[in-house]
Structure 1
Amino acid sequence: MQEITYDVRIRSIEKRKNAQGAVISYRLSWNVDGEVWKETFKTAAQADAFRAELMTAARRGEPFSVSTGRPTSWQREVEQPEPMRWYAFTLRYVEAKWPYASPNHRRGIAEALTDATEALLTDAHPFPREALRAALRWSYSNRVRDTTEPPPEFVNIVRWLESHTTPLAALTEHGSGAVLTRHVLARISQTKQGKPAAANTSNRKRMVLNNAMEYAQEIGELSSNPLKAVKWAKQRTLTTVDPRVVINISQARRFLKAVENHSERGRRMKAFFGCMYFAALRPEEVVDLRQEHLVSLPADGWGEMRLTNAEPRSGSRWTNSGKVRERRELKHRAVGEIRRVPIHPELSNMLIEHLKEFGAGPGGRIFIGPRGGLMTDRAYLKVFHAARAAAFTPSEAESPLMEVPYALRHAAVSTWLNAGVPAPQVAEWAGHSVDVLLRVYAKCIYGQQSEAMRRIFDATH
């Protein structure tokens, strides 16, 4: 027998707006026996009509069903809910993760779910593949951030996806579920072209899927994690820095001189790259460096900087602000935590000369573009590669030596370790844990093998 109640309270209609302030829908809420029910409509007229029907039933003294939230006179049969399909589940998962994930993690989630969704379509889609993937990226980014309707070019694709992906529960069906799961794992282990993906990439995507499956268990949509029912060998990843990419001090000085000689833009970037080599800063930490962080900058001797934030480049689609970069806490650090880093005398002189010639930008930024904007990846990468080619010999240029700017940070950490600085101190300056530091830079520590072999020889004679 259906449980009924006369305790009904109907609220006013709420306008829902997107980030730009435009009304995108109308939501009505009402209470039935203390439980809140909600219904969303595209137009105000639809919302008004539905509210009027509820009000009429309540004024007549009609009982309301506790299980449906509607008047019993409507005689609406309580239908068994359709099984949640994969696409609908991914939307719910992304909504749950979005507020707490960093922009780069949001992008990683979207990449993993986009690939997995391609593997869980129930029919061959009638759309160009890139259009389908673009619609999925919109579903896992702008849709969550802006709560807007799909752009016109995605409307038909999104509607098609709503009914053409595998039911989530199919992943745990005996026998066939394992086949589906393997199909998904195979897809995320490949590039769009069907070639094997990098081990780090496929393992990162598998971590996202594993978390999604655990979330499905959490909300009661799955009874078990289908990934745990499949034996799938985890790809080996390269976790140590290749010593061949690490430059020495002579090569570093040649490179920085070539940066300075490149152009006026290059002169603006000499200290920028110097911060990576002499202070082991990550690129996103240099971009955010401000005058207030330089607590000591002597003309002679060591100085000190205290880092508070970083501005990683994630892409406008993944940030809350819609900008390419978004300021946030330091990597592996809590909000508000600082990191002290010594300023090498050479770097101190570079920074003094930089501020004397170019001054600080808005907000006290040390490094800005010629027009006062942020130092962009495109700008510093162009100078980096040109200076590398000018500074290195042909054999050095053809080798893996400092192929990317991040290798300057690797060189700094390696230099500290090889100079005999205790690992805990290096880890603190570089923003690593000691365990990660020793694992990542194990192959870059020179000069200790001979001493170790000498000790073994002495002990056995």
Structure 2
Amino acid sequence: MKSYKVAVWKISINRSAKKPTYLVRWAVDGNPFHEVYKTQALADRFRAKLLRATEKGEPFDTVTGLPDSFRGGKAAETFLKLALAYVDDRWQDASAKQRDSMTDALATAIPALVKAVRGRPSPEVLRKALRSYLLPVPRRERERPADVATAVRWLEKASLPVGELQDIKHAQALVDAVSRKLDGKPAASQTYRRRRAVVFNCLEYAVELEMLSTNPLSKIKRKRKNGHRPVQEVDRRVVVNPRQARELLTAVTYVGGYERASGRRLRAFFGVLYYAAARPGEALGLRSSDCVLPEKGWGRIELQETRPTAGKAWTDSDEVHDRRGLKQRDDGEARLVPIPPPLVRLLREHLEEFRTGEDGRLFNSERGNVVAASSYSRVWKATRELALLPGQVSSVLATRPYDLRHAGVSQWLNSGVPAPEVAARAGHSVEVLLKIYAKCIDGQEAEMNDRIMKSLGE
């Protein structure tokens, strides 16, 4: 609805924060609205625009509180166009994983911000159109199937103007969309936080472009279920003790039989995850030139490249695996990790039997490619069934290969290695290390209880 009944009040100053903020308040047909600015000059400018609109006799929208003139120009651009511009701006410097996350979040948000236009395609087709054709920069010129072309035309027609997002109901619909899966069921907390962060940054980009005066998501606070914060600590139940780790690394050699050697080919790979606490992508990027492997004693490895599984749609090389520097480090910066004699032996035996790939990497598939996550996960599943007791197989103990890294870090901490040294070897900050990891090695409860009893003098 429109209304000519508009009142604009004087600017209020909020001095309760560290830095004062300036509040512009006005009402349309009795409904109050406000905008907050960091400086008085910005607040004065916005208030002056409101006053000019009232002097010109412009009608104000009773939902957004804005005059028609505000809804033109940049604010009239659709959310679809904003999302495409945001992806264009971020694509080149984003990793493959970030591109995947970015397009996933926006493909979830865009269909939630549309007008009631007839002929809405199914959720599956809309997601296919956005994820496989519209959002990825290299794929926009691909020939589109009929259903995708229809979906794109519908989105271009139905997408809401960016200015409409100041309406609280649209911001709430946006939050609800990113918190759900395609089938309408609640998404995992981590998925929700990742998606919301992407959409929030997209709307911050709109503020930078002066499409919006403030980020509407700043006004929405989503409460977590039961009021609990998301669990960030490592679940102690997933962590194997050193004996269990050795049994798993022995059992993996039996997977796939002697001729296929699918398990033996990955024994040292899993060893790097446990003894060096490397991430799977870091182990896949390890080259023979990165290793110092003496016949006796400790050796060392330099981790300087990671090859995470990402998908061809998101990598610049059109390969399934991305090629990046280490997490949270500058390109070319390496992480030096001393490795114990058991891992030195595993790596020497691996090199003797399987050599390296053409690029010098240690761990490759039978065809010489980067080992797929699905492949080493399948081998690990079979390994657990061979090495663990039936009750342990059905438990969460070492469910994922990544749990070997958790076990390695926990074992270092429990061995008395100072936290800064553990953090340096694992590629964490000390703060993150102490926040996430705890003394959670399976099988040490009795030992800990004995220590407590001795200290009590019993």
Settle same-fold status: TM greater than 0.5.
Answer: yes
Contact 2:414–2:439, Cα closer than 8 Å, also in 1: no
Supply the distance in 2 between the matched residues of 1:141 and 1:88 (Cα, whole angstroms): 10
Alignment partner of 2:138 out of 138, 142, 145: 145
Supply the distance in 2 between the matched residues of 1:452 and 1:194 (Cα, whole angstroms): 51
Question: 1:259 and 2:282 equivalent?
Answer: no
Q: Could you say which residue in structure 2 is the equivalent of 1:126? A: 120
Q: Could you say which residue in structure 1 is the equivalent of 2:307? A: 311
Alignment partner of 1:408 out of 404, 415, 432: 404
Supply the distance in 1 between the matched residues of 2:201 and 2:299 (Cα, whole angstroms): 44
Q: Could you say which residue in structure 2 is the equivalent of 1:155? A: 149
Contact 2:303–2:334, Cα closer than 8 Å, also in 1: yes
Alignment partner of 2:171 out of 181, 188, 209: 181
> Structure 1: which amino acid aligns with 2:268?
A
Contact 1:308–1:338, Cα closer than 8 Å, also in 2: yes
Supply the distance in 2 between the matched residues of 1:269 and 1:219 (Cα, whole angstroms): 50
Supply the distance in 2 between the matched residues of 1:117 and 1:95 (Cα, whole angstroms): 16
Supply the distance in 2 between the matched residues of 1:324 and 1:200 (Cα, whole angstroms): 24
Supply the distance in 2 between the matched residues of 1:234 and 1:150 (Cα, whole angstroms): 42
Alignment partner of 2:188 out of 195, 198, 206: 198
Q: CA deviation at 1:408?
A: 0.5
Q: Could you say which residue in structure 1 is the equivalent of 2:220? A: 230
Supply the distance in 2 between the matched residues of 1:231 and 1:343 (Cα, whole angstroms): 46
> Structure 1: which amino acid aligns with 2:281?
E
Supply the distance in 2 between the matched residues of 1:232 and 1:129 (Cα, whole angstroms): 24
Supply the distance in 2 between the matched residues of 1:456 and 1:267 (Cα, whole angstroms): 46
Contact 2:299–2:340, Cα closer than 8 Å, also in 1: yes
Q: Could you say which residue in structure 1 is the equivalent of 2:5? A: none
Q: Could you say which residue in structure 1 is the equivalent of 2:369? A: 373
Question: 1:329 and 2:328 equivalent?
Answer: no
Contact 1:246–1:401, Cα closer than 8 Å, also in 2: yes
> Structure 2: which amino acid aligns with 1:134?
K
- Distance verdict in 2 for CA 1:230–1:379, change over 3 Å: closer
Supply the distance in 1 between the matched residues of 2:191 and 2:356 (Cα, whole angstroms): 38
Contact 1:278–1:344, Cα closer than 8 Å, also in 2: yes
Q: How many residues align?
A: 373
- Report the 3-state secondary structure (helix = DSSP H, G, I; strand = E; otherwise coil) of the residue aligned with 2:313: coil
Q: CA deviation at 1:406?
A: 0.3
Supply the distance in 1 between the matched residues of 2:355 and 2:274 (Cα, whole angstroms): 22
Question: 1:357 and 2:353 equivalent?
Answer: yes
Q: CA deviation at 1:203?
A: 1.1
Alignment partner of 1:213 out of 183, 196, 203: 203
Supply the distance in 1 between the matched residues of 2:172 and 2:417 (Cα, whole angstroms): 47
Alignment partner of 1:107 out of 100, 110, 114: 100
Alignment partner of 1:269 out of 266, 271, 276: 266
Supply the distance in 2 between the matched residues of 1:238 and 1:337 (Cα, whole angstroms): 31
- Report the 3-state secondary structure (helix = DSSP H, G, I; strand = E; otherwise coil) of the residue aligned with 1:190: coil
Q: CA deviation at 1:399?
A: 1.0
- Distance verdict in 2 for CA 1:155–1:442, change over 3 Å: same
Contact 1:103–1:318, Cα closer than 8 Å, also in 2: yes
- Distance verdict in 2 for CA 1:159–1:344, change over 3 Å: same
Supply the distance in 2 between the matched residues of 1:261 and 1:118 (Cα, whole angstroms): 49
> Structure 2: which amino acid aligns with 1:108?
S
Q: CA offsets per residue over residues 208-258 of structure 1, 9 Å max, x none?
A: 111111110001100111011223325631111000000011111111111
- Distance verdict in 2 for CA 1:452–1:232, change over 3 Å: farther
> Structure 2: which amino acid aligns with 1:297?
L
Contact 2:423–2:430, Cα closer than 8 Å, also in 1: yes
Q: Could you say which residue in structure 1 is the equivalent of 2:91? A: 98
> Structure 2: which amino acid aligns with 1:126?
R
Supply the distance in 2 between the matched residues of 1:221 and 1:231 (Cα, whole angstroms): 23
Within 5 Å, which residues of 2 pair with 1:278-317? 278-294=275-291, 296-317=292-313
Stretch deviating more after TM superposition (224-233 or 446-455): 446-455
Q: CA deviation at 1:457?
A: 7.4
- Distance verdict in 2 for CA 1:312–1:141, change over 3 Å: farther
Supply the distance in 2 between the matched residues of 1:318 and 1:380 (Cα, whole angstroms): 22
Question: 1:135 and 2:129 equivalent?
Answer: yes
Q: CA deviation at 1:186?
A: 1.0
- Distance verdict in 2 for CA 1:453–1:261, change over 3 Å: closer
Alignment partner of 1:431 out of 417, 427, 434: 427
- Report the 3-state secondary structure (helix = DSSP H, G, I; strand = E; otherwise coil) of the residue aligned with 1:115: helix
Contact 1:304–1:343, Cα closer than 8 Å, also in 2: yes
> Structure 1: which amino acid aligns with 2:384?
R
Question: 1:240 and 2:233 equivalent?
Answer: yes
Q: CA deviation at 1:272?
A: 0.9
Stretch deviating more after TM superposition (372-381 or 406-415): 372-381
- Distance verdict in 2 for CA 1:258–1:451, change over 3 Å: closer
- Distance verdict in 2 for CA 1:372–1:231, change over 3 Å: closer
Stretch deviating more after TM superposition (318-327 or 151-160): 151-160
RMSD over equivalenced CA pairs, Å: 2.2
Gaps of 5+ in 2: 1-71
Alignment partner of 1:167 out of 161, 167, 172: 161
Q: Could you say which residue in structure 2 is the equivalent of 1:86? A: 79
Q: CA deviation at 1:149?
A: 4.8
Supply the distance in 1 between the matched residues of 2:210 and 2:455 (Cα, whole angstroms): 59
Q: CA offsets per residue over residues 110-130 of structure 1, 9 Å max, x none?
A: 111111112112125432321
Q: CA deviation at 1:452?
A: 10
> Structure 1: which amino acid aligns with 2:230?
T
Q: CA offsets per residue over residues 271-303 of structure 1, 9 Å max, x none?
A: 111111111111101111111110x20121110
